[in-house]
């Protein structure tokens, strides 16, 4: 997909990866950028930084399908049909099998169903136009796993499955689909998800911490190249391949990392 001249919607765009993507889309020549976030005031500041002629802010709760539909309609009213929908908003939910039903529900709605809501809102016009791109910010755990976060991992892997389904079903009709797969990124979500210095040390030992702008650049390149999986960290793709080639060995290695060398 060509970003220059496009109309893009970015959810979760008030900070972190979403903010960086929105700003870099504008720098890359997007004609219109809709900055969406549940924090409407922060979204307004990001849009103002881009410029009123090319950006607007819309407060949106991506867990509410009607709100996602309204977001797309607002984008269409201001700029025309949406060419790129960046479904970036997410929620970290920790816990294991015994996490509450409410935690499981929240993880699934925000981290998976929000992508379904986005597709329902934009795919009809994209299919009618014969072009469009959906970018889902997933995280590498979508094809690997996240330690101590079963609801988050399961929801993210479901999101990858949905994205791959869309690519298979609609790629021949001009629809591009990409999964952005970062690991540790210097964002408020990272700070919220790391509950101890021990967890932070383990994270830094096994994953480089990137800046949001680095991830955004990878995202834009992946969109223009129409890549299905956009990995941002060294080793993520290798681990994914190992998981496919030898799941038992991959599980043993992940277990060793998780439990301090005890497979």
Digit-coded pLDDT (tens) for 146-195: 888 999 999 999 999 999 999 999 999 999 999 999 987 887 655 555 54
- Mind listing the domains of the chain with CATH numbers? 7-232 (3.40.50.720), 235-263 (no CATH)
Q: What six digits make up the tokens of 63?
A: 């867990």
Average pLDDT, integer, range 242-255: 89
Average pLDDT, integer, range 91-105: 95
Res 210: pLDDT:
85
Distance CA 45, CA 35 (A): 9
Res 208: pLDDT:
77
Distance CA 187, CA 17 (A): 7
Could you confirm whether 152 is annotated as catalytic? Answer: yes
Average pLDDT, integer, range 98-107: 96
Secondary structure (3-state) at 29: coil
Higher pLDDT, 117 or 191: 117
Which ranges of the chain does DSSP label H, i.e. alpha helix? Answer: 16-27, 40-50, 65-79, 101-108, 114-129, 150-170, 188-193, 197-206, 212-224, 236-245, 247-258
**pLDDT category, 207, cuts 50, 70, 90?**
low
Res 195: pLDDT:
46
Higher pLDDT, 236 or 260: 236
**pLDDT category, 202, cuts 50, 70, 90?**
low
- Per the prediction, the chain carries an average pLDDT of 91
List, in order, residues 6 or more apart from 257 with CB less than 8 Å away.
202, 206
Res 206: pLDDT:
55
Q: What is the DSSP letter of 34?
A: E
Res 192: pLDDT:
53
User: What is the side-by-side order of every strand in the sheet holding 84-87?
Assistant: 55-59, 32-37, 7-10, 84-87, 132-137, 175-181, 229-231
Element containing residue 175 per DSSP (H, E): strand 175-181
**Over pLDDT 70: what percentage of the chain?**
91
**pLDDT category, 45, cuts 50, 70, 90?**
very high
Query: Does position 135 have pLDDT exceeding 50, yes or no?
Result: yes
Backbone angles phi, psi at 226, to 5 degrees: 55, 50
Query: Does position 259 have pLDDT exceeding 60, yes or no?
Result: yes
Q: Would you tell me how many other CB atoms lie within 10 Å of the CB of residue 241?
A: 12
The closest of 11, 25, 20, 17 to 220, measured between CA atoms, is: 25
Query: Does position 141 have pLDDT exceeding 60, yes or no?
Result: yes
Beta bridge partners of 179: 136, 229
Q: Out of 117, 152, 165, 170, which one is annotated catalytic?
A: 152
Res 16: pLDDT:
94
Backbone angles phi, psi at 41, to 5 degrees: -65, -45
Res 137: pLDDT:
95
Distance CA 201, CA 17 (A): 22
Distance CA 73, CA 9 (A): 11
């Amino acid at each position: 997909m060509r970003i220059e001249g496009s109309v893009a919607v970015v959810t979760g765009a008030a900070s972190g990866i979403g903010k960086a993507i929105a700003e870099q889309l504008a720098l890359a020549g997007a004609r219109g950028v809709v900055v969406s976030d549940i924090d409407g005031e922060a979204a307004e500041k990001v849009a103002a930084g881009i410029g009123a002629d090319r950006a607007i802010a819309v407060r949106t709760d991506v867990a509410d399908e009607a709100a996602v539909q309204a977001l797309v309609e607002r984008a269409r009213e201001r700029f025309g049909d949406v060419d790129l929908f960046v479904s970036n908003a997410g929620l970290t939910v920790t816990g294991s099998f015994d996490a509450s039903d409410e935690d499981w529900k929240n993880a699934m709605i925000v981290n998976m169903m929000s992508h379904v809501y986005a597709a329902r809102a934009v795919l009809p016009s994209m299919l009618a136009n014969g072009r469009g791109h959906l970018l889902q910010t997933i995280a590498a755990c979508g094809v690997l796993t996240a330690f101590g976060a079963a609801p988050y991992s399961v929801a993210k892997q479901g999101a990858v499955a949905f994205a791959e389904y869309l690519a298979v079903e609609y790629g021949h009709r001009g629809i591009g689909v990409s999964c952005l797969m970062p690991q540790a990124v210097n964002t408020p979500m990272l700070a919220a998800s790391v509950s101890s210095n021990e967890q932070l040390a383990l994270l830094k030992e096994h994953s480089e911490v990137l800046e949001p702008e680095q991830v955004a650049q990878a995202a834009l390149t992946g969109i223009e190249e129409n890549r299905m999986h956009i990995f941002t960290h060294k080793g993520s793709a290798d681990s994914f391949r190992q998981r496919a080639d030898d799941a038992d060995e991959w599980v043993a290695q992940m277990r060793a990392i998780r439990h301090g060398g005890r497979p």
